[in-house]
A and B are shown apart, each in its own frame.
Chain A
């Protein structure tokens, strides 16, 4: 890969005696969509959270957009503006409106004035199809709408990479589609994305590359056709077989 926008090398993570990541490497090219699948406890969420240092890796390196995230001299708060993150449980601020959620970091971190931030925030909400929900509080929105506001909150900062940590796992089945549609549109706009998810049909349709993780290691990586159609590793085959049974 010529110029990866995100590069993680040899990531290890210990939680006490528990060795969760055992040397994970990943290089993501600009505009690429990388999907990470694997059984629960495989370390895929921990790996994703190491990519913006919500989780502190025990060792290894993470470079995003030329910034060494693990360098002590790196201003992590500044660097995080380039890395958007979307969580399984949305994590919207319940005491703020949708627009308030989207504009908080614009004002506090990016230093925009309120009027400016509001314009950017409304545009971000429009991108996720929620222009008319700007003044709603999270409690007044459906799960799917909340997750789209969370996506708007991340993209408003114009990140170079977006991380999705099981973005549809907490949603009722009928609401999943609206979130996936927004993610698809985001991909079409050229956003670089790393997605941890169980949405296999989405992975098959949209991913450039699929990583299968198990027990803290990348077992197999390749285009979706290979991982889902002709997996090389026995563990991958077993996992794919299991999820395709239902």
Chain B
């Protein structure tokens, strides 16, 4: 057997791939569902926190910044493990799916808050003044004038951060969540062949390439003529 044939038989073994494809598909579907939930809840919570922060209530902001810094500092894997093994001692037994979802959402929330906040503060003060001088309230100004501009500014960093964090769905494998990586690794263990990992990699590409492309599209779509 040549090196090439050996390489193909090891990483692209058709028989092994065919056998574990259904498992990878299951993992793919679960990962997609989890990723969508994380993106929605993480970004929504981050935006909500950034809006709350803009009210400038000092005590609330201290609390908010503490929470945000906490989840930005902790590695997502640590959050997942802490929640999964810590919460049962409080009499609350979360599922692997629920834990991974909550952990990644909290981490995305924290980063999204910082990104949205940076966007809000990057909108020139004159925009606030112009809107307020025509009688718009604080919230109307925030909603109609400041946030649309802030969100446009934040789309590139937010897209990157969102992709980085949703890839963290793979961390769910540590607590037995049957997502792509977990399905692929168990395939490897049973078949003594790494081809399921190749499938897993393909599944991740299938999942995240469209997200990257969509991010690029949103970026151009949302750019306004200066």
Interface residues of A (CB under 8 A from B): 52, 54, 77-81, 83-85, 87, 89, 91-95, 104-105, 108-110, 137, 139-140, 150, 153-154, 157
Chain A residues contacting B133 (CB-CB under 8 Å) are: 52, 54, 80, 83-85, 154
Say whether A78 contacts B225, CB under 8 Å.
no
- Residue from A79, A84, A95 in contact with B149 in the complex, judged by beta carbons closer than 8 Å: A95
Contact with A along B173-217 (1 / 0, CB 8 A): 000000000000000000000000000000000000000000000
Say whether B224 contacts A109, CB under 8 Å.
no
Q: Contact residue range for chain B?
A: 20 to 34
> In the complex the two chains form, what is the Cα distance from A89 to B133 in whole Å?
14
Judge whether B148 is part of the interface by a CB distance below 8 angstroms.
Answer: yes
Chain B residues contacting A154 (CB-CB under 8 Å) are: 133-134
Chain A residues contacting B148 (CB-CB under 8 Å) are: 95
In the complex, what's the smallest C-beta–C-beta distance from B135 to chain A, in angstroms?
4
Say whether B134 contacts A153, CB under 8 Å.
yes
Chain A residues contacting B224 (CB-CB under 8 Å) are: 94-95, 137, 139
Interface residue SS majority, chain A:
mixed
> In the complex the two chains form, what is the Cα distance from A135 to B129 in whole Å?
23
Interface residues of B (CB under 8 A from A): 124, 126-127, 129-137, 140, 144-145, 148-149, 152, 224-226
Query: 28 interchain pairs (CB within 8 A)?
Result: A52-B133, A54-B129, A54-B132, A77-B132, A77-B135, A80-B132, A80-B133, A85-B129, A85-B130, A87-B126, A89-B126, A91-B127, A91-B129, A93-B130, A94-B226, A104-B134, A104-B136, A104-B144, A105-B131, A105-B134, A105-B136, A109-B135, A110-B135, A137-B224, A139-B224, A139-B225, A154-B134, A157-B134
